Amino acid sequence: MSRYLAFDLGAESGRAILGTLENGRLELEELHRFLNEPVRLPDGLYWDTFRLFHDIREGLRIAGRERRLKLDGVAVDTWGVDFGLLDANGELCLNPRHYRDPRNQAAYDEAIAKAGRERIFAETGSQFMALNSLYQLYAARRAASPGLWSASRLLFMPDLFNYWLSGVQANELTIASTSQFYNPAAGRWSLELFDVLGLPKAILGPVLPPGKRLGTLLDEIRAACALDPVPVFTTASHDTASAVAAVPASGDRPWCYISSGTWSLMGVEAESPVINGKSLAMNLTNEIGVAGRIRVLKNIAGLWTVQECRRQWMLEGREYTYAELTEMAAGAPPFVAVIDPDRFIEPGEMPRRIAEFCRNTGQKEPESHAQFVRVALESLALRYRQVLEMIEELTGMRIEVIHIVGGGSRNGLLNHFVAAATGRTVVAGPAEATAAGNILVQAMGAGAIDGLEDLRRVVRDSFYLETIEPRPDPAWDRAYERFRRLPDLSRL
């Protein structure tokens, strides 16, 4: 039996998850949950970095002092692109900004004009989003930030927490590949882009694969938490890379995945990057996963619209659970309107903005909270169908099974919508794919798991999976035609 601790930092909360691996089966237990909310300062939006590290230490303390556990590994995962900069003394000289920081858009426009869209894509194979690390760095340059020029090392967020845990500064491969300045074909940083954009190349350090042992917990942390010399692993530090590693596919039928949560990441695994004019036109991305697999995927603004509607209604004095919202939506009339979820990335006043979008597109406005949620869920399923068609066109392969993993896989209504909208078999689960992947990649690094296929076999043997077969419904085809005809409202 072996035990590993995964720190999974999500969009709303962070968690310390204990994984116990025994006889080829994995059991998960939540030891500690804590908020993960950005901090808005007068100059922008930041990570609450130090408080999060305090909570990481608290998870370790619970494991050691309260539970008296012997751990075989510790690792951190979170979303991609965000980072901190360290000076030569290992101190933060540029605090980590949150990817929703508003200054990124101007930097994005200027950097693309300077470097060229085709050149950036040829170098990185990354989809274009203003939140990418490349544009965050360029935003610091535009702001003449002193921290950028005094920096010695760039560490993405999991790398930063790993450094504070182990004392080792290194970048992990899966998280580095989200930056839009890593070349997945050449297996190196894209120094050419740094030259073109005038960014300091000295901040780029060594890149380690997932499942690499960095070192052990620092002595001070061990003493405070009553732990032995616990190994600190890189794991698949990008949360989507961990989640996709834990997709329970057996490979008997062509499949794709949706890592479903605040964001939905939909794609396939490939042996090598797909970097060509077609993938550029589709704005697909090539990110590196476990065992050298390439995750060819699309970022979709997943359950974000529902979360933001819920947040707005809470501010107005009406609080719902997600289960209540889903139940309400199930009873609402279908196809009142369709929206493109990716047009609603910014936070705030989501119901008002959805209603305004419906008015501007000549559609009926949702009239109740239940209708708003149903419109959001149906439209998300239609967006999945659109991205599925892109992936099939790019790969020349017909997908037969859609694996939905992550917290969003608990939404049974959305899972049925996906099966109906796409006409494909849906396999939902595990909901804790990211934590499971984090833990099992640690186990790979420790020698307790023999490769990616063995990892996925453990997942299939350990978690309940729901299979949903599609039922033909012409109403979904009609709704999809409406979805495809949505105009570009960017100038309205």
What's the whole-number mean pLDDT along residues 192-208? Answer: 97
When the pLDDT of each residue in the chain is averaged and rounded to a whole number, the result is: 96
Could you count the other beta carbons within 10 Å of the beta carbon of residue 124?
26
Buried-state track 378-406, b at ≥16 Cβ within 10 A, e below 16: bbbbbbbbbbbebbeebeeeebebbbbbb
The partner residues of 287 in beta bridges, in order of sequence, read 295
pTM across the whole model: 0.92
CATH superfamily of 247-429+450-492: ATPase, nucleotide binding domain (3.30.420.40)
Give the pLDDT of residue 472: 87
Percent of residues, the chain, with pLDDT higher than 90: 97
What pLDDT shows up at residue 491? Answer: 31
> 148, exposed or middle or buried, with CB in 10 Å at 0-12, 13-18, 19+?
buried
Mean pLDDT of 183-196: 97
Residue 219 bears catalytic tag: no
* pLDDT, tens digit (0-9, with 9 covering 90-100), for 254-303: 999 999 999 999 999 999 999 999 999 999 999 999 999 999 999 999 99
| Preceding omega of 430 cis (within 30 degrees of 0) | yes
Helices 133-142/104-115 angle, 10° precision: 100
CB atoms within 10 A of CB 337: 23
Report pLDDT digits (tens) over 68-118.
999 999 999 999 999 999 999 999 999 999 998 989 999 999 999 999 999
**What stretch(es) of the chain map to CATH 3.30.420.40?**
2-238, 247-429+450-492
State yes or no: pLDDT of 488 exceeds 80: no
Read off the pLDDT of each residue in 376-389 and give the average, rounded to a whole number. Answer: 98
Active-site residue, from 195, 239, 340, 473: 239
User: Under 8 Å CB-to-CB from 113, ≥6 apart: which residues?
Assistant: none
pLDDT tens profile 405-463: 999 999 999 999 999 999 999 999 999 999 999 999 999 999 999 999 999 999 999 99
* Residue 77 φ then ψ, to 5°: -135, 155
In this predicted structure, the answer to whether residue 365 has a pLDDT above a threshold of 50 is yes
C-alpha 289/C-alpha 139 separation (Å) is 28
Q: Nearest Cα to 486, choosing from 375, 371, 321, 357?
A: 357
Looking at domain 2-238, does it have CATH number 3.40.30.10? no
